Amino acid sequence: MKPEKQLEIFRRGAVEVIPEEELLAKIENARRKKRGLRIKFGADPSAPDIHLGHTVCLHKLKELQDLKHEIIFVIGDFTATIGDPSGQTKTRKPLSREEIMKNAETYQNQAFKILSPSQTKVVYNSQWCDRLALAEVCELASKYTVARMIERNDFQKRYQSGQEIGIHEFLYPLIQAYDSIALKSDVEVGGTDQKFNFLVARELQHRYGQEPQVVLTLPILPGTDGVRKMSKSMGNYIGITEPPQEIFGKIMSISDELMFTYYELLTSISSAGLKRMRKGSSHPRDLKKSLAKEIVALYYGNKLSLRAEEEFENVFKKGRAPEEIPSLMLSKSELKDGKMELVKILLLSSMAKSKSEAKRLIQAGAVKINNEKCSNSEIEIRKGMVIRTGKRKFAVIDISD
């Protein structure tokens, strides 16, 4: 394919290509040398799921992969120990290496739901970052100034409002930039929130005697709250390995306006098609259902997509329990006089992540037992009783000796 045509594909759906003329030159040079460009994409495993926000970039990477370029998927197991400060109003809580590696276990398989395994190189940035000596870190830090770092919008806001900024947070964009140096990346792809980090990489590559990478930024997918970007740490995300029914239900819960943004960023609909949809007479609920079916089908196939739709109709419109309810096995030794604290049941069934969340659910009247609201601190346990929180989470009690 001619370089100019390739450039059009690179630009399609992008917010910025920085700088465009360098990208065209890189494409032409790679074509002469009969090789693909080294295109970098990174994700920190701060939670076990790759979410729909990541897939905006992954689908773009698949387009570039189809042009025979090499995709390098960087799993940021080292950078995750620092925590990306992008868009943060306070210092992130650091994760342990054990937590990070547990989260990273399935990242590769999740990415391969979209990318071709044979054309994707998966690397962990601890491979080179763990080997950096203190003198090398100091050398890296010497190539960028505090003044330039504080120009960053989120750092500037925190500094002006008196919010603490850890020195280690200044290291994050430098270490991410070092990934580009270690990989000699030609292009880096990511969301618009990563622009500062990507530009730092361009400058440091130049200072290390490399040809700077081109920056390609893509739109940020809003989370299910419709306000903040989709983020694992903010809990407003839809993981691509979540059960089909959960994905379907979460999409059905988003606002009508957000639905159109999801159509634009997560499907292949054209601008003209989206405009017709906005002006059409179809009910938003029907459009949302079509969106949910399309996204579930993308990751689970048409059969499970249709089953997710059917279950949604049963649970939400007809008030029935889903066909397959997760079982919560309790042993008699765990019970006290045949009873158990309701908070403990919500934790054991993963319906609540913490005691405080469990108590909030109970106080809000969001917990039902056999379809009756329950606010008791303890409940008498019987085999086959169904616990439910909200509209989508169920568990059926089983008892072992």
Binding site members for ATP: 232
Q: Rounded to whole angstroms, what are the CA distances from 339 to 19, 171, 336, 365, 376?
A: 66, 52, 5, 20, 11
- Which among 389, 342, 382 is positioned nearest to 367, based on CA atoms? 389
Q: Which amino acid is at 325?
A: I
| Rounded Cα distance, 68 and 63, in Å | 9
- Which among 303, 231, 297, 291 is positioned nearest to 259, based on CA atoms? 291
| Rounded Cα distance, 357 and 146, in Å | 40
Q: Binding site membership: which residues? A: 232
| Rounded Cα distance, 347 and 368, in Å | 15
Question: Three-state SS string across the chain, please?
Answer: CCHHHHHHHHHCCCCEEECHHHHHHHHHHHHHCCCCCEEEEEECCCCCCCEHHHHHHHHHHHHHHCCCCEEEEEECCCHHHCCCCCCCCCCCCCCCHHHHHHHHCCHHHHHCCCCCHHHEEEEECHHHHCCCCHHHHHHHHCCCCHHHHHCCHHHHHHHHCCCCCCHHHHHHHHHHHHHHHHHCCCEEEEEHHHHHHHHHHHHHHHHCCCCCCEEEEECCCECCCCCCECCCCCCCCCECCCCHHHHHHHHHCCCHHHHHHHHHHHCCCCHHHHHHHHHCCCCHHHHHHHHHHHHHHHHHCHHHHHHHHHHHHHHHHCCCCCCCCCEEEEEHHHCECCEEEHHHHHHHCCCCCCHHHHHHHHHCCCEEECCEECCCCEEECCCCCEEEECCCEEEEEEEEC
